[in-house]
Every structure is written in C-alpha cells, then in structure tokens.
Amino acid sequence: MSLNAGQPPSVPGRSRFSIPVSTLASGFDLSVPVLTITGARPGPRIGVSAMIHGDEIDGLLIARELWRTLDPDALSGSLWLMSVANPLAMEAVSRNTPIDMLDMNRLFPGTPDGWLSEQQAHAITTGFINHVDCLIDIHAGGTFPWVDYCYVLNDEALSRAFLSALLYKPSSMYPATTASVALARNIPITVVEIGGGYHDQDQHVKNGVRGVLNMMRHVGVLAGEMERRPRQLLLNEIKVMRPRHGGLCVPARPLLPATWIDGGEKLADIVSPRSFETLETLTAPFERSVVVLTRNYATRINPGDYAFMMGNGATAVWYD
C-alpha cells in the first residue's frame, strides 16, 4: 500500500494519496486524504466523497466499510474514497470549517486565494472531482436529526440505484456545491442523505454500502445483477422546518423517514430551558406530508437549525 502526496495512483490494488490544501498557522500542513481501490480491468472511476460537513459521520463509516471489504480483483475501473473532505470540521464536529466558519459546500468550485474553505473547495475540485467519471457525495442529518433520501440530478437511474425509499428532484440545486461542479462538467452525480441523529448508525451504514455497491454495478465497475427497489417515491417539493426560537426541541412522537402524516399534525414543541414554557410548535406543513428529516429525541436546537424536513405528498410521483 503506497502513500503519495497529490499523485493519483494508476496501478491495480489499494493505495492512498493526499490533496494538499495549505499550511495552517500552527505550521501543520492541511491536506485531504483519498483512498483508492483500482481494479485490474479498465473501466470508469467512481468518486465517493464524505464529511464535507464535519458533523455528518455516516459517509465516513460507509467509506470505511467499502475500503475494508472491496476486493480490487472484482473491479473494472476504480473507486476513489474521499472519506474526510473537511478534516478540521470533523475534528470540531461542526458543519462549517472552524477557522473561517464557512459552509464549504456553498463555495465550490472554490478559489486558490480565498478563504480557507474556498481554498479547500478548489483543491477538492481540481484534485478529486475533475478526475472522476461519476460522483457520489454522501451527507447525513448531522448530530441531532436523522435523514434518508437521495437527490435526482443528471442521472435518474444512478440515483434510483442507491435504493432509497425517497428521491428528491429539486427545481434548482443549491449553488456552489460539489453537485453544481459535477453538473457543470457533465459528470453523473448523486447526492445521498442518509443517517445521523441520536441512535445506532449500523443500519444506515449497511444501507449505504449496499447502495454504493449497487451504483457501482450500474456504472459497470462491479459485476453482477443490479438490485431494484419498487415503489420509490419521487418528491418535487420539500420544506425545511426551521424554528424561530431556540431551546429544547421536544418531538411529539417518533417518526421514520418516508412516513406519511396529515397536515397540521404536531411535530415538536420548542421549549425554553429557562422557564419550560412552549415558545413555538412545529406542525406538518402539507395536507399530505412525507417525513424526510426528523428528530426523534429531545435535543438542543438553535433558531434557524434544521428541525424537520417534510415532502409534499400531493406533488410526489411513485416509481414502480
């Protein structure tokens, strides 16, 4: 197993390289690690990115299992795993890069002479995204919420191959993300949202590994028959539920992603930690709402945090 600084390997087997970013004030070098599994037969290169947001650990756990279990001899092409895209944010358990407190996934393709997060986005764009034939960007709910869905962007079949119960096709994608870079370069891209929250992540990791392996079959890197999931629901409208007040978010009842609920049903109370009075009540926004992101335990919440995400069932479409 070799370790190369900024030098992508091409020989079959397992290898590692790092994408240099900058030198920190401490004198330590900041770089982004990439692990590669290269097959003996030619084929496309799949990139899997994780932990662009440092509080979303599920992508890292999925990448770890892929690295641990995949046999290079089984691959036609290669798999590049960028398991910790934002090392400083991971260390701080923060969505944002702690040095500049910016969300790196709103700064792509970045710039070599901007904020540190912009420099890092530039390094990832030039050292990773520009070198893959297909990109799978894995996100999660973070420390408190639990989420489970997959974006449909420029390759519907690739997105469906992840086998999520819920799919989402936005009218417009967030600007300046990894996805916007891939879309501009006509690289097939899927953004996965899976796991997070206050519970065991094992099932999310198993589902994530299963989904990525199925995507690898779809693009021809891995042999074997693709799995297909009937009755996937394509959402065209999602509302993010953000409280106006902070305190304790106290859910009304546990909810699973893909659960249908009636409009107006109480999702949670926002409770003052000083007086224990209810400052705000969050309710399902659509006449027929579909749970996308949920909090199932009492958690700290700030004004404007992700509390819940609900899909509009009236405009959704079933895939058989």
DSSP 95: S
pLDDT tier at 169, thresholds 50, 70, 90 = very high
- pLDDT tens digit string along 190-248? 999 999 998 889 999 999 999 999 999 999 999 999 999 999 999 999 999 999 999 99
Structure tokens at 80: 């590049």
**Residues 289-305, buried b or exposed e (16+ Cβ, 10 A)?**
bbbbbbbbeebebeeeb
The CATH superfamily label for domain 2-229 reads: Zn peptidases (3.40.630.10)
**How many residues are there in the chain?**
320
Kindly report, as residue ranges, where domains of CATH 2.40.50 are found in the chain: 240-308
DSSP 173: P
Q: Residue 233: beta bridge partners?
A: 166, 318
- Comparing 264 with 3, which gets the higher pLDDT? 264
Query: What CATH number has the domain spanning 240-308?
Result: 2.40.50
The helix/strand/coil state of 169 is coil
Cα–Cα distance for residue pair 146/276, rounded to 1 Å: 25
DSSP 133: S
- pLDDT tens digit string along 67-125? 999 999 999 999 999 999 999 999 999 999 999 999 999 999 999 999 999 999 999 99
Instruction: Please state, rounded to an integer, the average pLDDT across all residues of the chain.
Output: 95
Kindly report, as residue ranges, where domains of CATH 3.40.630.10 are found in the chain: 2-229
